Amino acid sequence: MKSSATTYQSLTGIVAASALVLVASGVLGVMPETKAFWFLSRSSGLVAYGLLWLSVVAGLLISSRARQIVSPKWALEVHQMTSGTALAFALFHGLILTGDRYIRLGFWEVLVPGLSAYRPLWMAAGQVAALLLAAVLGSSLARRQFGNKLWRLLHYAAFLAYWLALSHALALGSEAKHPGVLGFYAVTGGVVLWLTTARVFIREGERGR
């Protein structure tokens, strides 16, 4: 677990530092005409979605007790590392747009749902997804204070975060028009739907015994 924690902290630090440098460059006008901020936002958003998907899938494999598919210990490490890193990339994805001269989003417009004038509904979907993910991570850090029952209840918010993130990506992501990316979203969404359904049937079967 120590190696996973170190990897997560390193990745988070790199993402945070990169975001600060790039946002500062845009705000100060160092790169005023470049589309780099837009492309970086798109690519980091795709990475954030992929990491969130991995986290959700790993969590479903743990809760479904799919020991014959993957090691529970490995699945837990993947779940913990990817969830935090997904949030870091999601923050990068949003904050980097404050340097973009076309959309012209302010700091609070990036962080607070409903403040953006640019396609507010779908922007809010992504923002709420990030806030829910942050809440889930926060509840995990304070699991002892919350108690297992409340912690498990709050963890269900991760499913809502995933589907909101997917809807945000499909509605706003210019890369979603590419057949390969659209196929990626379809396959990953299908996997989550299938694993969720399998988990429900497994739980119902256990209750019926």
**Structure confidence by residue, pLDDT tens digits, 132-190:** 999 998 888 887 787 778 888 888 899 999 999 999 999 998 778 888 989 999 999 99
Question: 30: part of which helix (H) or strand (E)?
Answer: none
Whether pLDDT at 46 is above 60: yes
Please give the pLDDT value at position 9: 54
Q: 46-55, 57-66, 105-114, 127-136: lowest mean pLDDT where? A: 57-66
Domain membership of residue 208 (yes or no) is no
Provide the token pair at 8. Answer: 């997560």
> What is the residue type of 182?
L
Q: 17-21, 165-169, 185-189, 198-202: lowest mean pLDDT where? A: 17-21
Domain membership of residue 155 (yes or no) is yes
CA proximity to 175, closest of 40, 34, 19, 26 = 40
Going by pLDDT thresholds of 50, 70 and 90, the confidence category of residue 37 is confident
Whether pLDDT at 194 is above 60: yes
How many domains are contained in the chain?
1
Going by pLDDT thresholds of 50, 70 and 90, the confidence category of residue 101 is confident
Rounded Cα–Cα distance for residues 171 and 28 (Å): 30
Whether pLDDT at 123 is above 90: yes
Share of the chain above pLDDT 70, in %: 78
Domain membership of residue 111 (yes or no) is yes
Rounded Cα–Cα distance for residues 15 and 110 (Å): 17
Please give the pLDDT value at position 53: 96
Query: Cα(first)–Cα(last) distance of the chain, in Å?
Result: 35
Whether pLDDT at 127 is above 90: yes
Length of the chain: 209
Q: Residues 200, 206, 208, CA angle at the centre, nearest 5°?
A: 105
Domain membership of residue 94 (yes or no) is yes
Domain membership of residue 163 (yes or no) is yes
Domain membership of residue 19 (yes or no) is yes
Rounded Cα–Cα distance for residues 141 and 157 (Å): 15
* Residue at token pair 């100060």: 28
Question: What range does the domain containing 18 cover?
Answer: 2-203
SS3 category, 10: helix
Domain membership of residue 209 (yes or no) is no
